[in-house]
């Protein structure tokens, strides 16, 4: 279902295979081409992998944009971009991948379906998402928890946030 108006979306992107920075730039370009008007992209952060599988560190960013797509359409676009980048959807969960795109937030929309939960189910637990997302949408309130993204970031353990290393400022998308 397509909403009758454009709305803000917050997405989290990560990569830990191949040329990670180039893969993220390609994913951002594909999001633009797919109908997301990108308003802001965070700094580039290197983060340890999530989960128990041995794998390389991730580069992570967050972006805020505007789209008239609903959550389902946005998910389809994200999966199409991930597939084009070479993501293996049959690989075990939380393993290395060229591109991962998560829907963190959609303005005025919450979804609770088996394969799609918005806001992202683990958003409040993931410093690697909260740190970059707070940079571009710190004032945005989590619709279920009622607190800002910046507040959620600041509530994460200091040692966890310390593992997240800013690699480049928000100008990294300019090359």
Query: What domains appear along the chain, each with residue ranges and CATH number?
Result: 7-174 (3.30.70.560)
The predicted pLDDT at position 5 comes to: 83
Segment 113-126, tens digit of pLDDT: 999 999 988 899 99
- Residue, of 153 and 91, whose pLDDT is higher: 153
Structure tokens at 7: 């709305």
Tell me which DSSP letter residue 1 carries: -
Mean pLDDT of 98-122: 92
What rounded mean pLDDT belongs to the chain? 91
The predicted pLDDT at position 2 comes to: 46
Least confident segment among 22-26, 61-65, 85-89: 85-89
- Residue, of 162 and 137, whose pLDDT is higher: 137
Q: How buried is residue 78: exposed, middle or buried, by Cβ count under 10 Å (0-12/13-18/19+)?
A: buried
Q: Give me the residue label for tokens 């998560």.
A: 102
Structure tokens at 125: 């637990």
Q: Give me the residue label for tokens 């971009």.
A: 81
**Could you write out the three-class secondary structure of 77-134?**
HHHHHHHHCCCCCCCCCCCCCCCEEEEEEECCECEEECCEEECCCCHHHCHHHHHHHH
The predicted pLDDT at position 4 comes to: 62
Can you name the residues that pair with 62 across neighbouring β-strands?
12
Looking only at the bridges linking them, the beta strands covering 44-47 and 37-41 are unpaired
- Vertex 145, ends 137 and 149: CA angle to 5°? 20
Whole-Å CA distances, 61 to 10, 58, 100, 111 = 11, 10, 11, 23
**Confidence category of residue 1, pLDDT binned at 50, 70, 90:** very low
């Amino acid at each position: 279902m397509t909403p009758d108006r454009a709305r803000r979306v917050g997405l989290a992107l990560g990569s830990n295979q191949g040329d990670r920075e180039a893969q993220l730039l390609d994913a951002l370009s594909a999001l633009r081409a797919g109908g997301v008007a990108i308003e802001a992209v965070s700094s580039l952060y290197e983060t340890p992998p999530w989960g128990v599988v041995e794998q390389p560190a991730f580069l992570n960013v967050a972006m805020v944009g505007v789209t008239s797509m609903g959550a389902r359409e946005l998910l389809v676009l994200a999966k199409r971009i991930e597939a084009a980048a070479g993501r293996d959807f049959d690989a075990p969960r939380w393993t290395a991948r060229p591109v991962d795109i998560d829907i963190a937030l959609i303005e005025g929309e919450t979804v609770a379906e088996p394969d799609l939960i918005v806001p992202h189910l683990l958003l409040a637990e993931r410093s690697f998402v909260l740190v970059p997302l707070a940079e571009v949408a710190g004032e945005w309130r989590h619709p279920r928890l009622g607190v800002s993204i910046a507040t959620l970031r600041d509530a994460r353990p200091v040692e966890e946030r310390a593992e997240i290393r800013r690699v480049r400022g928000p100008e990294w998308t300019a090359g």
